[in-house]
Amino acid sequence: MTAKAFTDTGLAQIQNGLQRHVAAGYAPGMAGLVSRGGETHAFVLGRTAFEGDHAMARDSQFRIASMTKPFTAAAALILAEEGKLRLEEPVDRLLPELANRRVLKRLDGPLDDTVAAGRPITVEDLLTFRCGWGIIFADPATMPLLKAITDQKLVGFGMPDAANPMKPDEWMKRLGALPLMYQPGEKWAYTTGSDILGVLVARAAGQSLGEVFRTRLFEPLGMTSTAFHGSPDRLVAGYLAQDGKISMYDAPDGAWSRPPAFEAGDSGLVSTADDFAVFARMLLNGGRHGERQVVPAAAVRAMTADHLTPAQRRGDMILPKGHGWGYGVSVVVEADDEGMKPGVYGWNGGFGTTWFNDPNTGLTAILLTQRFFDSPVMPQAHAEFRKAAYRALA
């Protein structure tokens, strides 16, 4: 008899814990999944929206937001294996808009008070979020660069916006007219690098980013429910909590139900728990799915290893304490009180999703909800799910 991967009691505790948060009104519904070895268990609870009585289904699609980042990183690594780009090369060949960079002398300084970049931005700088641009939590009125980013309506510096009409070439043109916040390679700064990388990947392949994903990842993995837009009859509603009230941010037939003008490499995908699990298990299996090597094994090792200095790991409130950054994923470098040990990797989506792979135990855990995160601190429902997933191991 094959040994069980999870205990029945532990699985029941996961189910009961999620049900408690749904019953308390944290979110109308959730879809969770744990997988280890050949054993997978799904948890499907509640409804797809507070309004109406449409039951959550195992194939319900969620906006996975920043859990898009590992797909963009994996696509870049596949193209590197194909010889279409090199991680150490400057991005200028494919992104001439970013040649001859200037860098602000001070973050709050005028846009023309700059110095020359010490070196070009490389492809690896985009993968590791050390390209010189990223999210800053400040009032745009206090920083000319933030005001310019806001005025130009540039995605990649804040909340995902599938309705933004700007196309990639125009986005690159506007971005390229602005100075960097930091010297290339100097500082870890969140999210913008994945959007730039998405444009670079599309240009390197001569296809849209969505087509690169479809041909290099989704079809080889049999992922039929992941794309840059969902189906209105499967897409869950998305909710934002403000001033103590929960309101709908995007309806099932809203912005994420239509193909976007800008396929955001940092945040644009919708997916299901089962679809994402296939991608996650492929990474845990060294890039292999069945008989096919989808992502080179060496690339997966590089993707899931920390590339930051200790100072860079401490430099941003978005990156949890004890975590570094690989390519498109965070990497645990110090054991934490959730049971995560060095080597665990994954990431969260600010629209209410979380995922991690633990190579130490073979565990994959995924939780998809419709309640957007209120802050960079992981919500209780997600933190409890992660701990319960570990307690359920046999």
Please give the pLDDT value at position 336: 79
Same domain, 215 and 287: yes
Residues in CB range of 289: below 8 A, 6 or more apart: 220, 221, 278, 281, 282
Cα-based torsion angle of the residue sequence 109, 190, 225, 228 in order, rounded to the nearest 10 degrees: 10
Same domain, 40 and 110: no
User: For 49-70, how does the pLDDT look when each residue is reduced to its tens digit (9 = 90+)?
Assistant: 999 899 999 999 999 999 999 9
Same domain, 24 and 116: no
Q: Which domain does 370 fall in, by range?
A: 8-51+59-70+209-391
Same domain, 200 and 229: no
In a domain, 1, yes or no: no
Last residue of a domain, one of 164, 190, 205: 205
**194: phi > 0 → left, psi -120 to 50 → alpha, else beta; which?**
alpha
For every one of its 394 residues, what pLDDT tens digit does the chain have, with 9 covering 90 and above? 568 999 999 999 999 999 999 999 999 999 999 999 999 999 999 999 999 899 999 999 999 999 999 999 999 999 999 999 999 999 999 999 999 999 999 999 999 999 999 999 999 999 999 999 999 999 999 999 999 999 999 999 999 999 999 999 999 999 999 999 999 999 999 999 999 999 999 999 999 999 999 999 999 999 999 999 999 999 999 999 988 889 999 999 999 999 999 999 999 999 999 999 999 999 999 999 999 999 999 999 999 999 999 999 987 889 999 999 999 999 999 997 777 899 999 999 999 999 999 999 999 999 999 999 988 889 999 999 999 999 999 9
Please give the pLDDT value at position 1: 55
Rg (CA), the chain: 20
Q: 3-class SS at 172?
A: helix
Q: Are 135 and 318 in contact (CB under 8 A)?
A: yes
Q: How far apart are CA 326 and CA 305, in angstroms?
A: 5
Q: How far apart are CA 101 and CA 179, in angstroms?
A: 7
DSSP H or E run through 203 = helix 192-205
Adjacent-strand bridge partners of 292: 289
DSSP 246-286: EEEEE-TTSGGGS--SS--TTT--EE-HHHHHHHHHHHHTT
User: For 80-117, how does the pLDDT look when each residue is reduced to its tens digit (9 = 90+)?
Assistant: 999 999 999 999 999 999 999 999 999 999 999 999 99
Residues in CB range of 143: below 8 A, 6 or more apart: 107, 108, 136
Same domain, 194 and 237: no
The two three-digit tokens of residue 256, written as one number: 């994420």
In a domain, 3, yes or no: no
> What DSSP designation does 241 have?
E
Length reported for the chain: 394
Q: How far apart are CA 345 and CA 342, in angstroms?
A: 9
Same domain, 36 and 115: no
Last residue of a domain, one of 186, 205, 224: 205
Same domain, 297 and 364: yes
Q: What is the pTM of this model?
A: 0.97
Same domain, 288 and 384: yes
Residue 197, domain CATH:
3.40.710.10
> What DSSP designation does 237 have?
P
Give the number of other Cβ atoms within 10 Å of residue 25's Cβ: 10
Taken in order 139, 145, 147, 153, is the CA torsion positive or negative? negative
Cα angle at 6 between 324 and 290, to 5 degrees? 70
Last residue of a domain, one of 184, 205, 226: 205
The total number of structural domains that make up the chain: 2
Q: How far apart are CA 270 and CA 231, in angstroms?
A: 10
